[in-house]
């Protein structure tokens, strides 16, 4: 029991320190600012969120073909996993001149094989396209484009029978209505009873508005929170598809486009990712787009299958992607040899500690390098209710209150832990300043 408590407490300390680093270190990134100093691209954009391959290679869902109301599909659709059932909402139409784009619904046991609902189209009273769905407090909220790219809201109790609430009322920061014109690809996120609405205007940037009553939405700023560029892949058009939260950070999956192909008006769209810790300041992934531009994939969203994230691109066919397989592990003998070499090197490598005082300099002449405990933080979500309860019980923030230097914070937490619990690692040597 004591070991489990110590491990959980270690998670609290690691999470607290990681959160402290995120909220105190500014860093510029691709047209916006994000508190990311000292973190590598692999830290900010872990491979499980950005490195995907198509599986299967063929689309898992397409238009039904000529003679059907959904002969073709277009724009963003939405997939939710509900226990062991995948649920998809999509926009169907017969031809480019169709007077109305309608809402379709399909289900799948595995996210690959889909069955259309027998009552399709499930909603055809108003134009519905480019939709996303939020399941919140027992209800379903659909944010979608109406005709002429006007953002609208629909609600449902079962995800099948929908009622239109109406067009979204979006205001400038000063409370005045935004200028008339298109405002589409609405993407919602709800947290702490505050709703966040991302939307684009003619694909020339991504704006953010908030609301507490879902009736009036007010811009947090009247400039885009995710602007165009600077990369060529999203230099002329952008639209946001989805927000997720992973390891305490927000990730925006969006699609972008550059200049039209030479001699044509056709643009190639691509799937991109950006990250933020406050939903306002975003840093774009330096390896955007996620797939070669020639593949022309867009409207990407991720769905967790219980073990990992899957990525689906939705326009104008649904393609499923899975995380890329990792290289085979080294043979045990090779790992042992490598470990021996690393341990031998560690014994003779000096351990510099910036800002260390005279009381610990004498005990840190040599030893292994110190690395922040990212491993624990990676699988213990900072906002996990269990960790929140432990932080409330032990109040580690009070232990380091007033200490700005992160190394000193670590030492204070270390001494506090050793003062509360007795440790016996059966060590017969004088270690470095962290042991």
Res. 340 pLDDT band, cuts 50 70 90: low
* Position with higher pLDDT, 1 vs 130: 130
DSSP state at residue 401: T
Per-residue pLDDT of 181-198, as tens digits, reads 999 999 999 999 999 999
- CA-CA-CA-CA torsion sign (150, 277, 299, 132): negative
- Taking 80 as the threshold, does the pLDDT of residue 369 lie above it? no
Q: Is the pLDDT of residue 372 over 60?
A: no
pTM of the predicted model, to two decimals? 0.70
The confidence score (pLDDT) of residue 40 equals 72
For residue 182, with 0-12 CB atoms within 10 Å meaning exposed, 13-18 middle and 19 or more buried, which class applies?
middle
- Amino acid 429: pLDDT: 43
Summarised one tens digit per residue, pLDDT across range 61-113 is 999 999 999 999 999 999 999 989 999 999 999 998 899 999 999 999 999 99
- The SS3 assignment for 125 reads coil
pLDDT top residue among 63 and 363: 63
Distances (CA, A) of 128 to 43, 107, 136, 141: 38, 19, 21, 13
Q: What's the pLDDT band for 334 if we cut at 50, 70, 90? A: low
E strands of 10-64, at which residues?
Answer: 27-29, 32-34, 52-54
- Comparing 315 with 370, which gets the higher pLDDT? 315
What's the pLDDT at 61? 98
Each domain of the chain, given as residue ranges in start order, spans: 2-25+328-420, 32-323
What percentage of the chain carries pLDDT values higher than 70?
Answer: 74
pLDDT of residue 393: 82
How are beta strands 52-54 and 269-276 bridged, if at all? unpaired
Q: Kindly tell me if the per-residue pLDDT of 259 is higher than 60.
A: yes
pLDDT for 411 equals: 83
Residue 404 in tokens: 């700005």
Measured CA to CA in angstroms, residue 170 lies from 140, 146, 173, 197, 199 at distances of: 21, 15, 10, 9, 10
> What is the average pLDDT score of the chain?
84
Separation CA 391–CA 17 (nearest Å): 12
Confidence of residue 421 (pLDDT cuts 50, 70, 90): confident
Find the helix or strand (DSSP H, E) in which 72 lies: strand 72-82
The fold of the 32-323 domain, in CATH, is Tachylectin-2; Chain A (2.115.10)
Q: What is the pLDDT of residues 145-195, one digit of tens each?
A: 999 999 999 999 999 999 999 999 999 999 999 999 999 999 999 999 999
Q: What percent of the chain has pLDDT over 90?
A: 63
Write the pLDDT tens digit of every residue in 20-60: 443 333 333 454 556 566 677 778 999 999 999 999 999 99
Largest CA distance in the chain: 82
Of the two residues 358 and 76, the one the predictor is more confident about is 76
């Amino acid at each position: 029991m004591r070991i489990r408590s110590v491990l959980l407490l270690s998670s609290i300390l690691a999470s607290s320190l990681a959160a402290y680093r995120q909220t105190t270190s500014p860093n510029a990134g691709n047209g916006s600012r994000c508190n990311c100093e000292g973190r590598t691209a692999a830290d900010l954009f872990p491979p499980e969120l950005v490195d995907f391959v198509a599986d299967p290679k063929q689309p898992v869902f397409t238009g039904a073909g000529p003679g059907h109301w959904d002969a073709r599909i277009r724009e963003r659709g939405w997939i939710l996993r509900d226990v062991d059932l995948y649920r998809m909402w999509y926009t169907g139409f017969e031809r480019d001149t169709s007077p109305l784009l309608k809402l379709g619904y399909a289900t799948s046991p595995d996210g690959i094989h889909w069955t259309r609902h027998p009552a399709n189209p499930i909603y055809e009273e108003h134009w519905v396209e480019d939709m996303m769905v939020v399941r919140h407090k027992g209800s379903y909220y659909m944010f979608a484009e109406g005709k002429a790219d006007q953002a609208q809201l629909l609600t449902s109790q079962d995800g099948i029978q929908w009622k239109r609430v109406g067009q979204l009322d979006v205001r400038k920061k000063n409370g005045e209505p935004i200028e008339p014109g298109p405002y589409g690809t609405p993407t919602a996120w709800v947290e702490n009873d505050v709703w966040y609405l991302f939307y684009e205007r003619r694909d020339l940037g991504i704006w953010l508005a908030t609301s507490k009553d879902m009736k009036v939405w007010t811009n947090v700023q009247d400039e885009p929170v995710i602007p165009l560029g600077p990369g060529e892949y999203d230099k002329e058009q952008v639209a946001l598809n989805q927000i997720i939260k992973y390891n305490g950070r927000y990730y925006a999956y969006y699609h972008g486009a550059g200049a039209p192909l030479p001699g044509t008006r056709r643009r190639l769209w691509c799937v991109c990712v950006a990250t933020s810790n406050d939903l306002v300041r975003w840093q774009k992934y330096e390896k955007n787009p996620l797939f070669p531009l020639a593949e022309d994939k867009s409207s990407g969203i991720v769905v967790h299958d219980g073990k990992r994230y899957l990525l689906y691109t939705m326009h104008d066919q649904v393609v499923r992607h899975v995380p890329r397989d990792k290289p085979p592990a080294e043979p045990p003998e090779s790992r042992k040899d490598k470990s021996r070499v690393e341990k031998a090197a560690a014994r003779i490598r000096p351990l510099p500690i910036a800002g260390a005082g005279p009381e610990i300099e004498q005990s840190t002449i040599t030893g292994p390098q110190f690395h922040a405990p990212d491993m624990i933080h990676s699988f213990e979500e900072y906002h996990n209710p269990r960790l929140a309860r432990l932080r409330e019980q032990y109040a580690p923030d009070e232990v380091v209150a007033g200490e700005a230097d992160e190394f000193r914070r670590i030492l204070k937490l270390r001494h506090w832990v050793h003062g509360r619990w007795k440790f016996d690692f059966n060590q017969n040597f004088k270690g470095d300043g962290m042991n």
